[in-house]
């Protein structure tokens, strides 16, 4: 299951805070801030999807993520590779290195990461 763009934005805030009350979440949004009811709806949908949970403190709820950011984006990237690059990581890497504005030093750093992964295997 995936998050909508609005849910991803809120999830990023929650990953940053690790746990937060509604006030903390609203304070983190840039202006113009969304309505409290909008954020409450997003939190409900995210909870229903199994991405977050909360602890109740009287009438307040402290929300926290159930899914790690790395796990979410890893699944997202793997889906992208499967759906847009014929399940070929090398096609994705080729596209990524040729179609993005990576500097020479960024490409060299990427090559170093790949070389290190090759050595590990």
Please say if the pLDDT value at position 21 is more than 90: yes
Give me the residues paired with residue 45 across strands: none
The token duo for 63 is 């929300």
pLDDT at residue number 50? 96
**What's the whole-number average pLDDT of the chain?**
93
pLDDT at residue number 4? 94
76 band by pLDDT with thresholds 50, 70 and 90: confident
Distance, CA of 48 to CA of 28 (rounded, Å): 23
* Domain locations in the chain as residue ranges: 5-65, 69-120
User: Contact at 8 Å (CB) between 33 and 82?
Assistant: no
Task: Give me the CATH topology for the region 5-65.
Answer: Arc Repressor Mutant, subunit A (1.10.10)
Model pTM? 0.76
79 band by pLDDT with thresholds 50, 70 and 90: confident
């Amino acid at each position: 299951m995936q998050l909508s763009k609005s849910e991803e934005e809120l999830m990023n805030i929650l990953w940053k805070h690790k746990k937060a009350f509604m006030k903390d979440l609203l304070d983190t949004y840039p202006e113009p801030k969304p309505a409290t009811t909008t954020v409450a709806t997003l939190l409900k949908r995210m909870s229903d999807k199994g991405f977050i949970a909360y602890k109740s403190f009287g009438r307040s709820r402290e929300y926290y993520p159930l899914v790690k950011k790395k796990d979410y984006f890893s699944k997202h990237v793997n889906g992208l590779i499967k759906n847009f690059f014929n399940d070929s990581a090398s096609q994705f890497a080729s596209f990524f290195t040729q179609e993005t504005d990576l500097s020479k030093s960024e490409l060299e750093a990427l090559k170093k990461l790949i070389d290190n992964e090759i050595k590990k295997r």
